[in-house]
Structure 1
Amino acid sequence: MLKVSVVVPVYNAGPYIEKCAETLLRQSIGPDAYEVVYVDDGSTDDSAERLDRLAERHPHVRVHHQENSGWPGKPRNVGARMSRGEYVQFVDQDDELGLEALERLYALGKRNGSDIVLGKTAGTMAGSSNVFARTIDRCTVETHTLFESLTPHKMFRREFLLENEIRFPEGRCRLEDQLFMAHAYSVANCVSVVGDYPCYYWMRREDGKNTSSRGLVVDEYFGYLRKVVQTVKAHTRPGPVQDKMLRRTYRVEILRQVSEPYALSSHRQIEERYEAVRKLVLEEFPPSVLAGLPAVARLRGHLLEQGRLDALCLLAGRTKQMAPRAELGRPRWHEGALTAPVRLHLVHADGKPLTLVERRGRLLLDPALTEGLPGAEEWEAGDPLNAAYGEIRLSHRGQHIGWYPESDFGVRLEDAGRGRKKPVVSGTMRIDPLTAAGGGPLERGVHDVSAFFQFLGLGRSAALRGDWKSQPLAGQAVQVGTPTRTVIPYWTASRQLAIDIGEFYHRLSDVPGRVALRQRIRVPAPVRRPLGKVLRYVRR
């Protein structure tokens, strides 16, 4: 039996067939260990001929031609049934795989007997996700945030799909990916995650016609979202796991329709979408789902269920103006890692910090957010640390890859005076160049450093900035690893902290030595000379 079958649904892909094939046909696992199954869904351009030429040149490529079904679901199902591999990897026609993707995904899945193996995503259409922060041998939807990754571009044990009758809906179907993954995650006994190697690249096409780029028809879209919710409920028992899965749908698919920026736009569908999601929430979501959301998200859900679109728009206008504030201490090396104290919080448009108010033994949401909201002017924050966290993010320029080095961050409430508490994320940034890439070394290039933090249901990214502009950190260049690689922390033109690996932008010879105290403080000469005499006198 082959180890892996790669299934690619194709419709009018044209030259993107060859672009995708460049990475599919050069996999390090070796051509004898896998096959590529293309399913042509009745293309009307020259895609069929392009696929047949690939099959003629490469023995491990197979092509199936069928009448147009109008959506990727049926071609994927057909390809999975045709597959001869122990595992099936789904790939879209305009995406790419890392050259070691199949080898790494299969090895991890085989070692753990995994039903599903997730590979780290990257590319011009992929946002950074901490689902892939590090490699995980064994997990489930109960123990990891798997439901944050609902695309099907993953590796599945073929027998797992067949035994559980997990199939894509066929014909025109919005959210077919979520329907498929909701079923798969709900019944999987073991899921693995490759976090130390970019396996799947979502690439934006030059013509903007990616497979997933389609407009939204309200009744259709939210009708299928209802089926996603029903699928979760059909395959899980009521309780914490089911609530956790449904909470992601509520927070992302539901609340973004009534939050900034969409709720503040002039889009013609605002009221139509609002009515659709309100109906869906009232009819399908258990009350425990809303009850478990952090304070601001829970407030949005309450206003939605109460039918207050006006209040939702008022709240969206206020939360949109919330801005991150990041304080970065002096970076320095400690035990092989670049470290610095970091402190993060949120401020209103007037610069005042976001706070909670203690009143009669209760902790209430900031009145600057709730004033004038009907029935919510004294909105209880509940557990203020619910879903609160902070993390460091590294973004590799040019390769569109994000990494999450392990750092020591905590969330606490600081006394802000006058009965107020300020939520703050603080701790020590720690970037080890030899382990920051999901447990492995950072590749050559420039990695920009930022932080992401979230509390009360409000999340923000913040660049970590210093006082110097476009200059290496004096005395902070190091050489690490075997073979040796140079690591140069520096401030970018916008004063953001960045790390140059392998002298990509800066040269080691250009890095200044440690700056003298008088240079750091920049003491003027008329003051420096008398001060020096005083210091010399004191030393005597």
Structure 2
Amino acid sequence: MTPTQPDVTVIIGAYEAMPYLVECLASVEAQTLDPARIEVVAVDDGSADGTGDYLEEFAARAPMAVTVIRQENSGGPSGPRNVGLGKAAGRYVFFLDADDRLGTEALERMVAMADRNGTDVVLGKVEGVNRNAPKSMWGKNRDRTDVFSSNIKFTLSAQKLFRRAFLERHGMRFDESLWTGEDALFTMEAYLRADGVSIVADHTCYYLVGRDDGKHVTKSGSYTLRFDSARALMGLLERMVPPGPKRDVLMVRPFLVTLLPQFGPVFLRQDEEIRRKKFELAQPLMEAYWNEGVAQRLKVHERLRLHLVAMGRPDLLVDVLEFMKAKTEPKPVLRKRGTQLYLAYPHYRSRRAGVPDRVYLAEPREAKAYPGWRETPAETFLRGATRKVRRKLSRVKRRLTRPRGTAAV
């Protein structure tokens, strides 16, 4: 690090961001990290609402170095982020959306976490404001983890701290051909390439703000863009992760988060032409990437809907969606002395429909909520064996760490 090199470059891509930009920039100005250690690169992507002018005003009075770039509209968030990344000088970069804001101490805590552990990516706890935010990965601080042994695959937005030398070494940039999901592609690649990922879970570092003017990027765009996003992410996983359980674990994410919503309640409100087109777009993805390893990691209603998409049966899918819309609970069917639980959604055991029984079979994590289900002896044995191994390892660890000459109590 040179004496003048900032610790972190905050990259802000802004388009029609007023008045949200005011609080966004105020949150940058309020950071506890020394302003001399922060630089801001803000890219106005052809706004006509005063966004560029406000960025210029902020640059003139801000206590940290601020560079403002004004350009013609690029059509999406990737272009401005790539421009900002090309101008960044910090050891780390953080991508801040212009309608969101940083939590107090966010940059200080994330930079300290990365420096302490030598990790390439740091996630700071996210809190939603008028919108939902990911929750499953914030259980505790984690100095070092990866995408396979944590739930970070369910937060693929770009609002993370990235080591800039790491991004440059791998030539990483946002895909400007994607109009949505470009951050998922970028972040998943970073997770897979990173020398460790850290999580700051005990402090809110980022406020994800829901705009009330309907302009938020995740709420706009054609359904075809979602299929483009799913296709790109699935292709990345195919290239970077060999076939097997690890790939299946990660493939759950695009199937569950990107593809499945296209075959949810919205499907019932769409006309026949859109329904047909959706099945056409999904078919090559199902043929290439849908398998039992992915399917068994989903709940029954999720697995069933995707299986019907793979079968090319929109008629059966509509029956399932109508059943779910009515908030009808599927009848639980216990078999093999209560060790197998099937959830009888529409067309269960229907010869005419031809859906295999296994599609309706609840995995243990879902089945345990139903009275009467019990684990198989093998599952019970394995769980007990795991506990025994852990106890033995704990005893060995205590012996190894006990000071010499002391007796066990």
- The normalised TM-score by structure 1 is 0.62
Instruction: Please show how residues 380-395 of structure 1 align to structure 2 within 5 Å.
Output: 382=361, 384-386=363-365, 388=366
SS of the counterpart of 1:165?
coil
In the alignment, the residues of structure 2 paired with residue 236 and residue 85 of structure 1 have an alpha-carbon distance, to the nearest angstrom, of 31
Offset of residue 284 of structure 1: 4.1
CA distance in 2, matches of 1:197, 1:231: 32
Alpha-carbon deviation of 1:65? 2.5
Distance 1:93 1:416, change over 3 A: closer
Residue in structure 2 matched with residue 329 of structure 1 by the alignment: none
Q: Which of 148, 156, 161 is equivalent to 2:154?
A: 148
Residue 38 of structure 2 corresponds to which residue in structure 1? 34
Once the two structures are TM-superposed, the CA of residue 413 in structure 1 deviates from its matched residue by 5.4
Which of 393, 403, 414 is the matching residue for 2:371?
414
State the 1:11 CA deviation.
Answer: 2.0
1:213-258, Cα deviation, whole Å (9 max, x unpaired):
322142x441342111111211222222211111121122222222
What is residue 203 of structure 2 aligned with on the other side?
A: 197
> How far off its partner does 1:296 sit?
3.6
The alpha carbon displacement at 1:294 in A equals 4.1
Q: Partner of 2:234: helix, strand, or coil?
A: helix
Helix, strand or coil at the partner of 2:219? coil
Instruction: Name 1:374's counterpart in structure 2.
Output: 353
Matched, 1:96 2:101: yes
Mark the CA change 1:221 to 1:205 in structure 2 (over 3 Å): closer, same or farther: closer
Q: Of residues 94, 112, 116 in structure 1, which corresponds to 2:117?
A: 112
Letter of the aligned partner of 2:372 in structure 1? D
Q: What is the aligned-residue RMSD (CA, Å)?
A: 2.7
Corresponding residue of 1:229: 234
SS in 1 for 2:35: coil
What is residue 171 of structure 2 aligned with on the other side? 165
Match of 1:57 among 58, 61, 64: 61
Residues 172/128 of structure 1: CA separation in 2 closer, same or farther (3 Å cut): closer
Could you tell me the percent identity over the aligned residues? 33
SS at match of 1:181: helix
Partners of 2:76 and 2:131 lie apart in 1 by 20
Matched, 1:12 2:16: yes
2:317 aligned residue: 312
Q: Is 1:247 aligned to 2:252, yes or no?
A: yes
1:168 deviates by 0.3
Q: Distance in 1 between matches of 2:303 and 2:223?
A: 27
In the alignment, which of 6, 19, 22 is matched to residue 2 of structure 1? 6
Measure, in 1, the Cα distance between the counterparts of 2:345 and 2:303.
17
Which moved further from structure 2: 236-245 or 60-69? 60-69
Q: Which protein is richer in helix relative to its size? A: 2
Task: Report what 2:385 is aligned to.
Answer: none
Superposed displacement of residue 39, structure 1: 1.4
C-alpha contact 2:345 2:360 (8 A) present in aligned 1:
no
Question: Amino acid of the residue matched to residue 363 of structure 1?
Answer: Q
Letter in 2 for 1:215: G
Aligned to 1:524: none
1:109–1:319 distance in 2 versus 1, CA, 3 Å:
same
Which runs of 5 or more structure 1 residues have no equivalent in the other structure? 324-346, 349-353, 390-410, 418-540
User: CA separation in 2, counterparts of 1:211 and 1:298?
Assistant: 28
| 1:355 to 2:332 alignment | yes
Name which of 78, 82, 90 aligns with 2:87: 82
Q: Aligned partners of 1:282, 1:270: CA distance in 2, in Å?
A: 18
Paired residues, number? 365
Higher relative contact order (Cα pairs below 8 Å, separated by 6+ residues): 2
Q: State whether residues 370 and 379 of structure 1, in contact with CA within 8 Å, keep that contact through their aligned partners in structure 2.
A: no
State the Cα distance separating 1:357 from its structure 2 match.
2.0
Decide which structure has the larger Cα Rg and report it.
1
Runs (5+) with no aligned partner, structure 2 = 375-409
Cα shift readout 1:164-217 (whole Å, capped 9, x = no counterpart): 122101256332112212211221221111111111111123423224332214
Mark the CA change 1:296 to 1:24 in structure 2 (over 3 Å): closer, same or farther: same
Contact persistence 1:126–1:201 (CA under 8 A) = no
Does structure 2 retain, via aligned residues, the 8 Å contact 1:86–1:157? yes
Deviations along 1:500-540, one digit per CA (max 9) or x if unpaired, are xxxxxxxxxxxxxxxxxxxxxxxxxxxxxxxxxxxxxxxxx
- 1:456-483: CA deviation from partner (whole Å, max 9, x where unpaired): xxxxxxxxxxxxxxxxxxxxxxxxxxxx
SS at 1:105 equivalent: helix
Partner of 1:48: 52
The C-alpha deviation readout for 1:245-288, integer Å capped at 9, x for no partner, is 111211222222223x2233345633322331233211344553
Structure 2 equivalent of residue 420 of structure 1: none
Instruction: Report the TM-score when normalising by structure 2.
Output: 0.81
Residue type of the partner of 2:332?
Answer: T
Could you tell which deviates more after superposition, 179-188 or 86-95? 179-188
